[in-house]
Amino acid sequence: MSAGLRCISRRQSCWAVLLAGGDGLRLQSLTRQIAGDSRPKQFCRIFGGRSLLGQTLERIDPIFRGDRTMFVVMKAHEAYYQEDLRLTDESLILAQSQNRGTAVAIAAALLRIVRRDADAVAAFFPCDHYYADDDAFASTVRAALTAAGEYPASLILVGAEAHYPEVEYGWIEPGLASPGASPMALSRVNRFWEKPSLPKAQGLLRRGCLWNTFVTIGRADAFLELLCAQIPDAVFRLAGALTDNDLDCAYREVGAADFSRDVLAPQPHRLLVVRDAASGWTDVGNPARVFDTLLRHSIEPAWLSRIG
């Protein structure tokens, strides 16, 4: 049995990290109408009775143990996340004092995980996504976990099949299929583009490139190697933060860094991609995308009649 399959069957050493620290500014014009306050979108009930954070947790719960599920949030958002995380052990909540971007958030979470589990495999999930088919999503994640066990030096990206030339997504150019790939198509990554121009996105679509969902899975030490190669000062400062006060100080001293742009894009040779063709993934990035998702999937949340 492969390391990845052992990880899935025993659900040991596999950690989920839910990234919920963004400010959600691009969707705020809509979320203010839905919630009546300034909460970021991940804490808003956009598609039903649970917030996007709650739906993300429900989606990954069959795959990961509760005591190996971590949440990265902002201290300033405590009033909004405390309902969803009221039963969560405080040691699993990484509350950032400032928003320094996804690369810093991921580094801080990984360093906290490896202090408890040096052999961890980590999976990072943004909390502002919609999936039409949670079972298909789970199958893709399990395939990525298996790949992480088979290719311990690589990070595994989940790439959704692209349907139009979106300029607000990252794009992945898949290369040759990996030898002995599992039923889910697993390929090397030739190149990575973050939010390309429209002409470039049109060309990427024609070439069969994939949308980057930002769901990223791999061994914690592989993540840290890539982070140290691109943002070494931030990793060094965060590594020395053993208390919450230390972490606040480190956040004041480090610069902002984007994980896709600053860490993944310069190192495509360390990346593999699993193709997600069935989950119906959407990044809930702007109001138009929300309304399109509601229409395509015949979803009628209670707030729709109120503001329609």
With 0.85 as the threshold, say if the pTM is over it. Answer: yes
72, containing H or E segment: strand 69-74
Q: Judge contact between 53 and 43, C-beta under 8 A.
A: yes
pLDDT tens, position by position, 205-222: 999 999 999 999 999 999
Task: Answer yes or no: is pLDDT of 290 > 80.
Answer: yes
- For residue 3, is pLDDT > 60? no
Q: Is the pLDDT of residue 10 over 50?
A: no
Contact partners, residue 257, CB within 8 Å, separation at least 6: 100, 101, 102, 103, 104, 230, 231, 234, 263
Whether the Cβ atoms of residue 237 and residue 254 lie closer than 8 Å to each other = yes
- DSSP string for 162-204: P-S--SSSEEEEEEEEPTT--SS-EEEEEEEEES--HHHHHHH
| Helix/strand number for the chain, H first, E second | 12, 11
The C-alpha atoms of residue 199 and residue 193 are separated, in whole angstroms, by 13
Q: What is the pLDDT of residues 78-121, one digit of tens each?
A: 999 999 999 999 999 999 999 999 999 999 999 999 999 999 99
CATH of the domain at 211: 3.90.550.10
For residue 223, report the phi and psi dihedrals to the nearest 5 degrees.
-55, -50
Number of domains in the chain: 1
> What pLDDT, on the 0 to 100 scale, is given for residue 179?
67
Which domain, by its residues, includes 12? Answer: 3-307
Residue-averaged pLDDT of the chain:
92
> What pLDDT score does 6 carry?
42
Answer yes or no: is pLDDT of 30 > 90: yes
Which tokens sit at 65? 């143990």
Task: Please tell me the distance from the alpha carbon of residue 306 to that of residue 149, in angstroms, as a whole number.
Answer: 48
**Encoded tokens for 70:** 């971590």
The answer, yes or no, to whether residue 224 has pLDDT greater than 70, is yes
Place of tokens 């053993």: 242
Using a pLDDT cut of 90, give the percent of the chain over it. 86
Backbone angles phi and psi of 76, in degrees to 5: -65, -15
Tell me the HSE value of 27 on the side-chain side, using a 13 A CA sphere.
26
- What is the predicted pLDDT for the residue at 308? 61
Q: Which two tokens stand for residue 119?
A: 């052999």
Taking the CA atoms of 97, 103, 255 and 224 in sequence, report the sign of the dihedral they define: positive
